[in-house]
Chain A
């Protein structure tokens, strides 16, 4: 990729998390996965992203735990470096340069890991036994096992396909951690277990067959008792090792499984799915967490959009859905079911697809178009208008217009006015008409406001291609092949026509802010034109092969993507581009959007000023979401990532401090006393049962119950200690009642102070202190309940 000054094209947000196999940490609390140019560390219980390990400058191609230190992980990247991280704190420890020729003889653990990672880049399927005696690789129809001690490799080949139609191509492999057994997955869904592979001829394998199409991942559990496999069926299959007739299934995982990872203690499994999702599974029984990335299908039919309310990126997600993806938090917010029909997973079936979507300026309205074209039947079209519901915090269907046009809708936009009372939607279609839809507030038949057609327009029976409202909503430009017509939406009067033949208009865009007098268009004959609407003349035009033209809603900047993936950012009023970049990616840029920033950048360099207010995201041909980043921003991010993080995934709340420390204390006490008897859990105490099982209407007031509740938490001390500390407890109880009296007067600030004092590790002397803290907290709770 070509560097341009200090602005770089990066994967940032919405990148693939299923690109490589995820890695579960030793205590299975953290989940590491390669995501774009960073390694993401998720909490496996809360699904939250704990850190981004940033530092690589290109795609991360592999993550691996350091076998000699389970708190560290290696990552390798296409930028040619291998980095060692402390992933619990997110600190970069070491950078190693990548070299391609690694000798195999010295076999220390670190070198070994290193070797693996180097080869991961070239060979997709490669694994070693846990003892490191041999390394197995599969490619095409060949399995190769290399023994380090003997320095000898064995190669086993399968026939391409036999009479029974088996396809024997290897797709994945896994080595048994204890026995010498290699499991391989094949294209026809078979799994083979290879044994005795240190013989040229006497090797043997057994075959397991459940999957009906290619096995995409196989994995042994760390103890080697089970074998996990997954494929397109989106079912995780667990085979008992040596008792392969017994198998367990975890079905309905949502999408095809691409990778399977197992935590080192075998407690958690993690599967990566083709819809950019990670699923954390507890011992093949239940799904405990789902981490959803940006769903990327085959193509995006809708434009990339930004929801004005949530500032989320909106695009096609699951079939028939729109997904709302927060780029700042790099997390999917929610899916909006547009089609509201069951999606049938069958190839060749034509189903409703969301093809167009538009938001109005304030994000109150969302318009969507879905269509279904079956062979030899007419096109089915639905225009749906969704109103934002403040209470449910989501969009609710307001109006469905079935068959709004006779033919495919080519363009659709809302009127941009911020202050006007009426909202207007214009849709243009291949049937030669454009329609204006308006919200009608009252009707004798329907309740509440609904949308109806207000105006149908046409121009010389030409097909309208693009439509665009000016920033103040006073003008509507619609292109009819070579002709741009400008209408007044207030009176539906054709104001003027502009044309610059030859070549049909491909994109149309009004300038913003100070440049709002300009209308820009691109033509099919590689021309970028700028008309001045005041004079109704062509201001300037330039020959340029523009594939995509869009304007930044927060500034007067416009971005034009050339068909060879070049980018020009310019102001319509200025002749010189602000920024230009050749070949930002391989292939064509299909979709792009300006996403507003949460906080403005203070960059003063001219070339990067256009990135101050908003960020430009674009989708490449291979469905990678990419953006631009300035040097300053990058430095800032790097600095923040090196900051030491105090605690892990769980957020520090007063409640956490109370319960968590309490539990920890219990644990320590148990350990110290080695007592066989178990403490009564707070859940099992009489008070809690009473609280939970009594019907609400017969319960006494909450403040009364609260003291009981807290006391139930306090009593859980082992009997031995109870005896020794009985006197103390007595005095505590007196204090407690005093505290209760004060409860309402205690402020929040005090509790916060108390938490900090409670945070350090516990000695006997501090136990008393801690108990005091609990009382404090109780008061805080009761004050909450009272209110």
Chain B
């Protein structure tokens, strides 16, 4: 496997923010998710739950509710605005003031023609969805007290609105309230407090289901306006409800971190009168479950503990498959760390600032597994705060450590870093070319002479950097005419090639000498999650969300022999069963046959010279290899060498001095920084 000196970095205090709202589009199988810092993420459930798009947040924008209308995504927040997002440019398309105070909820009818929002001032406002924008249509009868939750009846004629202490049913045509359902307050001390109806669901058989702050899930008859059943689910709040598409199952998320399933079941076998019965309880969260989605096969939940949990419903999926495993998505599926390989520096990207660190040094020698004494401690050189309200969407550090760039959705900033001894000076490059307004990805060439920035329609702007000025060189455009943003960009070590990958799964390779498109890699159905160009052979290695690995020769413009062999033989099932994508890929300059890649739970060195493992071989064989005597090892080893010593990895990179940088962020550290969960009495406490 090779021996490395490892910098084990644990000073990246990355803190994901809490999940606030969720909306699942079952037609496109995309899940939109909003976080407490206003960021939006889109996951593609059809493609191994890959985090396809990230729209960075903005100060003062708190998304309270999300809603898909066909392929369009709308959000509403407590700043009183409705926002539609441009998913191609990863930015808000427009915002519209609702003039009703903070907006608590947004909901579209099943036809996708209208949006209803619930406001603090007690109005339900109906907006018409037009081709390009939305238009205010009218207010429903104004109520006393805020509207917390809304749900359209599938016919579109009725709207149920959850309020303080009550649920109101409106006729969407006339705008008049037809029913007022009083929700009982909690018992004891909470008797004096208003009960908040956090969530309502209006089913096609005119059943209304509500979840409230007294911990009840209540089933109402929407025709007569009477209470049918009360299920006391928790002592605390029921924060979210979600109904499956066929309306046979209902989920309720609580403050205890549990998700309770209710099913619409006939009480006796041969009869048809069905009722809602509480069945299963899932406990995958430590904190409040704020957002829930019920897909056809799984329960998707998220909340204060920042993890997105996909819990498959075992009766809906095949047993013991990829699909039937529980998934917890804790880290973003893209790199937040950029490494100045030559300078031994790390750049950490937070949503509000950047941190530049110099790695520590050690001159000690030790046996494998020893921890060496540190001669010089790692040092934080710069903490750079961003300007403006928009959060940072991408950043890059040049390999020499002399340049630093970041971008928000509104601007790109480039800085020049100069070191003299222990002093460091940072100067902003004042005049950037006008074309460079915002970037989805930033990347420096290996000699730090060029900056590549990807912008709209997957085009890449090349900027030449020099001491005196920076000059716009060229714009590279793909021929496919795609409108999707680039999410991966990689320049070759020799400065010849640049590869970009976008959300349409297209990979374009440009020749930097000719400044034009060299080739397009055949499109594979799954999105690439990491790619890199080999420094010597100029082969492009790609790893996709479904864990497949490809190697494409840029010279011959075809898949290499090794790649074909790998595809023919198939990857080991344990490799395919991993549930986090490979997020970073690098090569070992000393051994050209080695590819180093990592996901959250392991890093792996693929040795292209060794035989590929077949399905029967022991896949995780490092321990057994170590126990074998030297001569037998070669016969047992295969090309995948996997190390799980380091966990919860954010970055694994190889420096020029052949030492390995491993950036860890233990999930326990994240959990310890979360606010305290609701107190629960446990057995024997």
Chain B neighbourhood of A212, CB < 8 A = 683
Asked, given contacts A195-B263, A212-B683, whether A205 binds B268 with beta carbons under 8 Å apart, the answer is no
Contact in complex: B279, A205 (CB < 8 Å) = yes
- A735 on interface, CB distance cutoff 8 Å: no
Partner of B268, one of A178, A206, A243: A178
Whether A204 and B268, one on each chain, are in contact in the complex, defined by CB atoms closer than 8 angstroms, is no
Number of interface residues of B (CB under 8 A): 19
Does A201 lie within 8 Å of B267, measured CB to CB?
no
Is A204's CB under 8 angstroms from B265's CB? Answer: yes
A207 touches B280 (CB 8 A): yes
Q: Please tell me if the beta carbons of B278 and A244 are within 8 angstroms of each other in the complex.
A: yes
Q: Could you say which of B232, B269, B315 contacts A204, with CB atoms under 8 Å apart?
A: B315
Within 8 A of B (CB), among A230-249: 242-246
Q: List 9 A-B contacts (CB under 8 A).
A: A180-B268, A181-B267, A195-B277, A198-B269, A203-B315, A204-B279, A204-B280, A205-B279, A207-B281
Write the chain B residue with the least CB distance to A245: B232
Q: Does A513 contact B (CB under 8 A)?
A: no
Taking a contact as CB atoms under 8 Å apart, the answer to whether A133 and B269 are in contact is yes
A144 to chain B, nearest CB (A): 16
- Is B231 in the interface zone, CB < 8 Å from A? yes
Q: Quick one: CB contact mask for B552-581 with A, threshold 8 Å, 1 for yes?
A: 000000000000000000000000000000
Among B233, B277, B279, B315, which residue has its beta carbon within 8 angstroms of that of A245?
A: B233
A202 within 8 A of partner (CB):
yes
Chain A nearest Cβ from B101, distance in angstroms: 36
Report yes or no: A180 in contact with B278, Cβ–Cβ below 8 A: no
State A204–B280 Cα separation when bound (angstroms).
8
Identify 5 new A-B residue pairs, CB closer than 8 A, beyond the known A195-B265, A205-B279: A147-B269, A179-B267, A242-B229, A245-B232, A246-B232
B280 touches A196 (CB 8 A): no
In the A-B complex, list the 5 residue pairs whose CB atoms are closest, starting with the nearest: A179-B267, A206-B279, A204-B279, A201-B315, A245-B232
Q: Among A179, A201, A206, point to the contact of B278 (Cβ < 8 A).
A: A206
When the two chains form their complex, are residues B263 and A204 in contact, meaning their CB atoms are under 8 A apart? yes
Dominant secondary structure of chain B at its interface with chain A: strand
Q: Can you name the residue of chain B whose Cβ is closest to the Cβ of A145?
A: B269
Q: Which residues of A contact B261 (CB under 8 A)?
A: 204
C-alpha spacing A204/B233, complex, angstroms = 18
Cα–Cα, bound, A402→B278 (Å) = 61
Minimum CB–CB distance from B645 to chain A (whole Å) comes to 22
Q: A243, B265: Cβ atoms under 8 Å?
A: no
Across the interface, name the chain B residue whose C-beta is closest to A243.
B232
**In whole angstroms, how far apart are the Cα atoms of A179 and B271 in the complex?**
10
Q: How far is the CB of B126 from chain A (nearest CB, A)?
A: 38
Residue of B229, B231, B232, B269 with most chain A CB atoms under a 10 A cut-off: B269
Question: Measured between C-beta atoms, what is the minimum distance from B328 to chain A in Å?
Answer: 14
Q: CA separation between A153 and B673, bound complex, in Å?
A: 52
Q: CB distance B232 to A195 under 8 Å?
A: no
Roughly how many angstroms separate A523 CA and B230 CA in the complex, as a whole number? 75
C-alpha gap A242/B683 in the complex (Å): 23
Taking the nearest CB of chain B, how far is it from the CB of A348, in angstroms? 17
When each residue 301-330 of chain B gets 1 if its CB lies under 8 Å from chain A and 0 otherwise, what string results?
000000000000001000000000000000
State in angstroms the CA–CA spacing of A180 and B315 once bound together: 19
A198 to B269, CA, bound (A): 7
| Identity of the chain A residue whose Cβ is nearest the Cβ of B260 in the assembled complex | A206
Q: Which residue of A lies closest to B271 (CB)?
A: A180
> Chain A's nearest CB lies how many Å from the CB of B324?
12
Cross-chain contact B267 with A202 (CB below 8 angstroms): no
Once the chains are docked, how many angstroms separate the CA of A205 from the CA of B278?
9
Chain B 254-281 against A: per-residue CB contact (8 Å), 1 yes, 0 no? 0000000101011111000000011111
Complex Cα–Cα for A646 and B265 (A)? 52
In the bound complex, residues from chain B placing their C-beta under 8 Å from that of A242 are: 229, 231, 277-278
Interfacial chain A residues near B267, Cβ < 8 Å: 178-181
Chain B proximity of A326: nearest CB distance (Å): 42
- A 168-215 contacts with B by CB, 8 A: 178-181, 195-196, 198, 201-207, 212
For the complex formed, measure the closest distance between the CB of A133 and the CB atoms of chain B, giving whole angstroms: 7
A204 — which chain B residues lie within 8 A by C-beta? Answer: 261, 263, 265, 279-280, 315
Q: How far apart sit A196 and B313, CA to CA, in the bound complex (Å)?
A: 15
Contacts of B269 in A (CB 8 A): 133-134, 147, 180, 198
Shortest distance between the CB of B309 and any CB in chain A (Å): 16
| B267 nearest CB neighbor, chain A only | A179
Provide the residues of chain B in CB contact with A202, threshold 8 Å.
315
Contacts A198-B269, A243-B232, A246-B232 given: A206-B315 contact, CB under 8 Å?
no
Say which residue of A201, A206, A243 sits within 8 Å of B280 (CB atoms): A206
Instruction: Give CA–CA (A242, B278) in the complex, Å.
Output: 7
